[in-house]
Amino acid sequence: MARGSAVAWAALGPLLWGCALGLQGGMLYPQESPSRECKELDGLWSFRADFSDNRRRGFEEQWYRRPLWESGPTVDMPVPSSFNDISQDWRLRHFVGWVWYEREVILPERWTQDLRTRVVLRIGSAHSYAIVVSAARSRQGGWGGTAAEQHGTSSCHPRHWVNGVDTLEHEGGYLPFEADISNLVQVGPLPSRLRITIAINNTLTPTTLPPGTIQYLTDTSKYPKGYFVQNTYFDFFNYAGLQRSVLLYTTPTTYIDDITVTTSVEQDSGLVNYQISVKGSNLFKLEVRLLDAENKVVANGTGTQGQLKVPGVSLWWPYLMHERPAYLYSLEIRGKGFDWPLLVKDFNLLRWLGANAFRTSHYPYAEEVMQMCDRYGIVVIDECPGVGLALPQFFNNVSLHHHMQVMEEVVRRDKNHPAVVMWSVANEPASHLESAGYYLKMVIAHTKSLDPSRPVTFVSNSNYAADKGAPYVDVICLNSYYSWYHDYGHLELIQLQLATQFENWYKKYQKPIIQSEYGAETIAGFHQDPPLMFTEEYQKSLLEQYHLGLDQKRRKYVVGELIWNFADFMTEQSPTRVLGNKKGIFTRQRQPKSAAFLLRERYWKIANETRYPHSVAKSQCLENSLFT
């Protein structure tokens, strides 16, 4: 394991590694407590896509000024979900531009009357650019003014349009954002209703993350006037909308804004250094209590920073993992949206497989996924949406600045998770370019300054000799598709090519290596023996060949193998994709292909081969596992 033997994953509630963030304010996951209440806004929202030619009718007609149904037809839209797959209207599936969500909420009276209460609106993620407008309505009827209304601007440019604490803008999907809306709901004659309107734009530009381009097709013999397509440079469907939960929560006006914890171990004692940021007042007294998994107090402290000592500490430990050598064996899963049944099913499958890790390919997963990783002992390589950095023009200063900010948001959100073992700043950037070298150097350095305790990487598919980013990473992560994207059908070449890959990279960089992707497209139910591409037999044989190659190096410098992919997933349409990417060892419905059984045998074999009895005791999950 890259972090080395000094790693201490303690099972002491929310443990954090040291961070010095540039972002203003924290982003703690909302939890109910004696002083905090939460109100989930999941469920049906009103929805309309702006199909107008310039996609700006919503702003021109100020749809946010009145309930959405008053300005035109609306449809029901579940939140959380991606809007693309919900309706039977094909235009919505491929829609690019502004969509509008609206929901009316009745607020508890205390929230609107008690001026010692802060009311916060929190959006788990909105892909990819969002503007939020809130309006409070008094009991007597009539809507109280929003900032946008008071300023009366009709400009459709968001920067002019929003101007007030009750509205909020956020750029980038996959990460949470929030606003204190107390000023809005706590003014006027007993307001009790809140109308929340969220406009979301899924257009990707050369400076968004991931980047994209809009291409106008101007040959009028082939395309109608104004016809455009969105080009993306990654291999998943650009699902969009309110894909994670939206909620309101309260805090007292003097409140804990952020907590940062770093941990270490001294003999059998756990040391927990904490730093707590309090906002709203300087007049407070802090008592700190550290609870164990059974809610028993195991240490006490006072003040905004200090160290707690826990004798006889029980350490957090990855599922089935041995410490010498630690080895990640698993697969990539997907977690753009959030859905509890799917999430629990996926974790049951991970445990069935005996897997112990995954990478959040290629964007941060829902916060609930990260919580499950802490709970189930699954190690995470936490990747930001730096995917599709394929063209030279994407390595510009505006993108670099945004990319660094996104890393700040990722680290701010996930620094508390013991499961996070490494940050990944990008997947397959064009890292052979000089400009990419500088860009990656800067993003990696920035991420290290945010969290000096964890290694940082990006995932490469460049040639080892040409890669300009590899010198800056702590661990080399490599994607390769031998006998899939070239040498079609020639499974006999895999071991040689894999050995060459590992030896070249190791010789040049002398760093630990993770095989971060390998796999084969497989259509469940297709069979052929001897194996042919796309059959279950081919996928199995390809993985077997890779495993023979990996076994040659895994006790040396290869520290992990992550197959591509956990389950089939949707992509854009193309002649190389049959209803999406089919490299899953499970179907999209989570049913196993033959390779799932092969993987299961391998992962359990590795676990049984290497684990000592004491490491078994360390895994919190094993005692409850059906599969040991």
Nearer to ligand GCB, 171 or 517 (CB): 517
* Contact residue for ligand GCB among 376, 564, 566, 604 (CB under 6 A): 564
Residue 581: CB atoms within 10 Å: 21
What residues contact residue 394 under an 8 Å CB cut-off, 6+ apart? 206, 211, 388, 430
Residue 401 backbone class (left: φ over 0; alpha: ψ -120 to 50; beta: rest): alpha
Cis omega before residue 189 (within 30°)? no
Using an 8 Å Cβ cutoff, are 164 and 136 in contact? no
428 annotated active-site: yes
Q: Is 581 in the site for ligand GCB (CB under 6 A)?
A: yes
Nearer to ligand GCB, 414 or 428 (CB): 428
Tokens of 339: 């859905």
Q: Is 517 in the site for ligand GCB (CB under 6 A)?
A: yes
Residue 340: CB atoms within 10 Å: 9
**Pattern 205-234, ligand GCB, x by CB under 6 A:** -----------------------------x
Catalytic residue among 102, 171, 408, 428: 428
* 379-383 vs 420-427, strand pairing mode: parallel
Distance CA 485, CA 26 (A): 43
Number of residues in contact with ligand GCB, rule: CB under 6 A? 10
Shortest separation between residue 498's beta carbon and ligand GCB, angstroms? 15
Backbone angles phi and psi of 151, in degrees to 5: -80, -15
* Contact residue for ligand GCB among 416, 479, 539, 620 (CB under 6 A): 479
What residues contact residue 546 under an 8 Å CB cut-off, 6+ apart? 482, 494, 498, 515, 518, 561
Shortest separation between residue 470's beta carbon and ligand GCB, angstroms? 16
Shortest separation between residue 82's beta carbon and ligand GCB, angstroms? 18
Backbone angles phi and psi of 547, in degrees to 5: -65, -35
Q: Where are the alpha helices (DSSP H) in 42-181?
A: 57-60, 90-93, 109-113, 147-151, 158-161
Shortest separation between residue 514's beta carbon and ligand GCB, angstroms? 13
Q: Is 427 in the site for ligand GCB (CB under 6 A)?
A: yes
Nearer to ligand GCB, 38 or 390 (CB): 390
Q: Is 346 in the site for ligand GCB (CB under 6 A)?
A: no
Tokens of 265: 């171990």
* Contact residue for ligand GCB among 170, 403, 583, 602 (CB under 6 A): 583
Distances (CA, A) of 611 to 100, 547, 559: 52, 19, 15
Nearest partner of 609 among 568, 571, 537, 554, judged by Cα: 554
Tokens of 336: 């753009």
Interface positions, 69-108, toward ligand GCB (CB under 6 A) = none
* Contact residue for ligand GCB among 125, 399, 457, 461 (CB under 6 A): 461
Nearer to ligand GCB, 250 or 427 (CB): 427
Distance CA 330, CA 582 (A): 17
Using CB positions, name the residue nearest to ligand GCB: 235
Shortest separation between residue 387's beta carbon and ligand GCB, angstroms? 7
Which residue type sits at 174?
A: Y
Nearer to ligand GCB, 238 or 581 (CB): 581
Shortest separation between residue 235's beta carbon and ligand GCB, angstroms? 3
Q: Where are the alpha helices (DSSP H) in 377-517?
A: 397-414, 434-450, 494-509
Distance CA 154, CA 147 (A): 12
Nearer to ligand GCB, 340 or 488 (CB): 488
Nearer to ligand GCB, 38 or 523 (CB): 523
Interface positions, 496-515, toward ligand GCB (CB under 6 A) = none
Shortest separation between residue 521's beta carbon and ligand GCB, angstroms? 7
Distance CA 80, CA 126 (A): 10
Nearer to ligand GCB, 161 or 484 (CB): 484
Q: Is 235 in the site for ligand GCB (CB under 6 A)?
A: yes
Using an 8 Å Cβ cutoff, are 464 and 424 in contact? no
Shortest separation between residue 358's beta carbon and ligand GCB, angstroms? 14
Shortest separation between residue 564's beta carbon and ligand GCB, angstroms? 6
Nearer to ligand GCB, 522 or 581 (CB): 581
- Residues forming the active site: 428
Q: Which residues bind ligand GCB (CB under 6 A)?
A: 234-235, 427-428, 461, 479, 517, 564, 581, 583
